[in-house]
Copies of this chain bind each other. A is one copy, B any other.
């Protein structure tokens, strides 16, 4: 049995819903893998608060695996993030109106942490489930990257046996029916997350597969 903590986010930036939370709920309700115990938690889209909520959830659930999920509106596919960087730099205010500019997430923390997931294997699993997916080399500098970096720092400093990572999902089709922008239906997004969670729960080494970006 693998205990999995899955997190999604509150809505932000004027959207009516957040596909990260909607999809995470679907996965928790029906995880797919037989040996998975999945707890879904919704995080505030607020610098600082989101990390407090994540830490509480980790203490409560005591997970073997943590996968945080966020919305990357405009990306056409599900992206497994490769690296979290030690900077908050908000292009827009968060849900509490905070807009930090070029502030470290952890004072004197390392510049970055690589994800603790088998990133390429997770991408391959999502694709095998029929859902477009790829590796991303930036989670941005907003609350998503903030949570991702905070998670990896927590693991590095306090929970050496927990593995963790971050996945960005596109807009849900239901959310953008009247906007000409890339999207995937929520069930497809949930399918990708199931494949990723199952893969991350069952393998610790990655596969060797193309997936870099030229820039």
Contact = CB atoms under 8 A, between A and B. Distances in A.
Interface residues of A, number: 65
A85 to B, nearest CB: 5
Task: Give the oligomeric copy count.
Answer: 4
Contact of A102 (B177, B180, B208): B208
A138 interface: yes
A209 B101 contact: yes
Interface string A197-210: 00000000010111
B212 A90 contact: yes
Interface string A174-215: 101111111111001000000000000000001011111111
B137 A140 contact: yes
B130 A174 contact: yes
Interface stretch (A32-40, A59-67, A109-117): A109-117
Interface in A139-180: 139-142, 144, 168, 173-174, 176-180
Main secondary structure of the interface of A (DSSP, over half): loop
A72 interface: yes
B182 A185 contact: no
A141 B208 contact: no
A28 interface: no
A132 B183 contact: yes
28 contacts: A70-B215, A75-B180, A75-B215, A83-B111, A85-B112, A89-B212, A89-B213, A90-B212, A91-B213, A101-B209, A101-B211, A101-B212, A110-B112, A111-B112, A130-B174, A131-B177, A132-B176, A132-B177, A132-B181, A132-B183, A133-B177, A134-B178, A137-B140, A141-B212, A142-B213, A142-B215, A144-B214, A184-B184
Interface of A: 13, 70-73, 75-77, 82-83, 85, 87-92, 99, 101-102, 110-114, 120, 126-128, 130-135, 137-142, 144, 168, 173-174, 176-185, 188, 206, 208-215
